[in-house]
């Protein structure tokens, strides 16, 4: 990953100072920078709409923006990667119920997870629950379409918006591509991850760009809130 100079990291210092000043205005050991109660309530309300087949494209657009503002969002945690590896192992061994269980655990912590919905879709279908598999496959498609609506991904000025490292790579893999290189830069004060992706069949490659602001922002907020 390329090094980033002082001018490039300055936006994060500005963000840190603003959040620090905001945090100083709160009192008590449990002072919070974000209103987790409202964000969590709105987040679960959209999940209910999705599960009741009442969600529209705008709901998917909203929930991927909302998730990083909830109390569930922990981008520094390795839980999503652990769930992903366990899911892959269960699939390889044909342990479909265990696969369902682990992916449902993942969705309980991040309902926007591409990995989680893909896992449930595959493992439900393989275990004979075709309806559940189709349902989560449809949800997966809706989340992928929502990501494409966040930007073209073809330039740093129009990046994709994905809130976890695991899902960045899941998004790439779901398009039958592999990541072959990456770098970090700043465009318009936003941290942008540039990932070189390649079609393994043709060896043709291109660069996709991802807005990774949520991960950086949450790291600053967690420090202010003394969140482990």
With tokens 């963000």, the residue in question is 15
The one-digit pLDDT tens for each residue of the chain (228 residues) are 333 333 343 444 444 444 443 444 344 445 566 788 999 999 999 999 999 999 999 999 999 999 999 999 988 778 888 999 999 999 999 999 999 999 999 999 999 999 999 999 999 999 999 999 999 999 999 999 999 999 999 999 999 999 999 999 999 999 999 999 999 988 888 889 999 999 999 999 999 999 999 887 755 555 545 555
Structure token digits, residue 28: 């008590």
Domain locations along the chain = 6-225
Q: Is 155 helix (H, G, I), strand (E, B) or coil?
A: strand
pTM listed for this prediction? 0.82
Q: Provide the pLDDT for residue 187.
A: 86
pLDDT in tens, 121-149: 999 999 999 999 999 999 999 999 999 99
Structure token digits, residue 4: 């980033």
From the number of C-beta atoms within 10 Å of its C-beta (0-12, 13-18, 19+), residue 225 rates as: middle
Give the C-alpha distances (Å, rounded to integers) separating 92 from 27, 129, 186: 51, 19, 39
Q: Check if the beta carbon of residue 14 is closer than 8 Å to that of residue 190.
A: no
List of E strands, the chain = 160-161, 178-187, 190-198, 205-211
pLDDT in tens, 53-77: 999 999 999 999 999 999 999 887 7
Q: Check if the beta carbon of residue 161 is closer than 8 Å to that of residue 147.
A: yes
């Amino acid at each position: 990953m390329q090094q980033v100079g002082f001018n490039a990291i300055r936006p994060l210092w500005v963000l840190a100072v603003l959040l620090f000043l905001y945090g100083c205005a709160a009192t008590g050991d449990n002072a919070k920078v974000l209103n987790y109660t409202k964000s969590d309530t709105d987040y679960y309300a959209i999940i209910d709409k999705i599960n009741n087949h009442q969600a529209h494209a705008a709901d998917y657009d909203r929930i991927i923006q909302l998730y990083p503002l909830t109390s569930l969002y922990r981008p520094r945690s390795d839980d999503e990667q652990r769930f992903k590896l366990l899911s892959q192992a269960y699939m390889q061994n044909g342990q479909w119920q265990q696969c369902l269980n682990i992916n449902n655990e993942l969705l309980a912590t991040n309902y926007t997870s591409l990995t989680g919905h893909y896992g449930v879709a595959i493992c439900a279908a393989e275990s004979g629950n075709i309806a559940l598999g189709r349902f989560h496959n449809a949800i997966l498609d809706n989340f992928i379409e929502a990501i494409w609506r966040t930007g073209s991904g073809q330039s740093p000025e129009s990046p994709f918006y994905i809130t976890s490292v695991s899902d960045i790579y899941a998004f790439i893999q779901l398009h039958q591509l592999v990541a072959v290189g990456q770098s970090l830069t700043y465009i318009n004060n936003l941290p942008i991850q540039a990932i070189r992706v390649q079609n393994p069949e043709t060896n043709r490659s291109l660069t996709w760009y991802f807005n990774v602001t949520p991960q950086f922002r949450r790291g600053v907020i967690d420090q202010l809130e003394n969140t482990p």
